[in-house]
Amino acid sequence: MHGIGGNASSCGPLAAMLSAQGYRTLCWDAPGYGASADPAGKMDHSGVVLDVLAWLGIGPVHLIGTSWGGVIATRVAAQAPEAVRSIVLADSTRGSATTKEGAERMLARVPELAAAGPHALAARRAPNLVSQSAPPSIAEAVRAGMAAVRLPGYSAAATMMAESDTSALLPHLQVPALVLVGEDDVVTGVTESRILAQNIPGAAFEIIPGAGHAAIQEKPAEMSAAILAFWKRLK
């Protein structure tokens, strides 16, 4: 599950590597992103995930969420642990409501997008999502993903993040968890990922060298190796 500035293609290279090892992988466009219809009214993103899994008739599943997608994964695991085999939280967070200022900054992104448009938003924000060592092609893919966001989907995502603080959920999660973070992540950061790992019972934690917030795109091979090793330990 992609971040607030991404879409299904953001997860494509990692998904391909996991598929090559025999796993069936599904990358979603969240409501209002990519090929998915725009949401009408307030969204329950975790509920939509569970509806999709029920419609597909699959589960329990391994959920991988990067940034905002990790917040969704956390909520799904808390709401319906029977549907989840494990969660991977990549460069994720407890949500923006851990502080009043964080929630306000998240909500401020919506009028910024409405006024400036997605290409200007991407030009401002995308460079911070990758490490300074990221190849230009990866930096461009991250920018292009953000430039493709639409106001209804982004607004719903920002509203969810501004209302989210999963701190109280973490100690009660009943599914295995792996927390991954790029060492150069300046958006959510290593410290926030450590908090996630320290508060989820039995969670594994790993730092991905040379990666920024978009580690899932910058270092898919390293991410895949960490995830596959984690899944192997679960067998």
Cα separation, 96 vs 112, whole angstroms: 17
Query: Is 1 inside a domain boundary?
Result: no
Q: How many CB atoms lie within 10 A of CB 229?
A: 12
Cα separation, 197 vs 101, whole angstroms: 23
**To the nearest whole number, what is the mean pLDDT of the chain?**
97
Query: Is 131 inside a domain boundary?
Result: yes
Strand partners, 87: 63, 177
pLDDT in tens, 80-109: 999 999 999 999 999 999 999 999 999 999
Query: Is 81 inside a domain boundary?
Result: yes
pLDDT value of position 42: 87
pLDDT value of position 83: 97
What is the residue range of 86's domain?
Answer: 8-234
Whether the CB-CB separation of 76 and 164 falls below 8 Å is answered with no
pLDDT value of position 59: 87
> ∠ at Cα 230 (228, 234), nearest 5°?
110
pLDDT value of position 225: 98
Element spanning 45, H or E: helix 45-56
CATH of the domain at 58: 3.40.50.1820
Q: Based on the structure, what is the number of domains in the chain?
A: 1
Query: Is 3 inside a domain boundary?
Result: no
Query: Is 175 inside a domain boundary?
Result: yes
pLDDT value of position 235: 82
Query: Is 147 inside a domain boundary?
Result: yes
Q: Give the residues of the chain that fall short of pLDDT 70.
A: none
pLDDT value of position 138: 96
Query: Is 2 inside a domain boundary?
Result: no
pLDDT value of position 40: 87
Tokens representing 113 are 């997008």
Query: Is 54 inside a domain boundary?
Result: yes
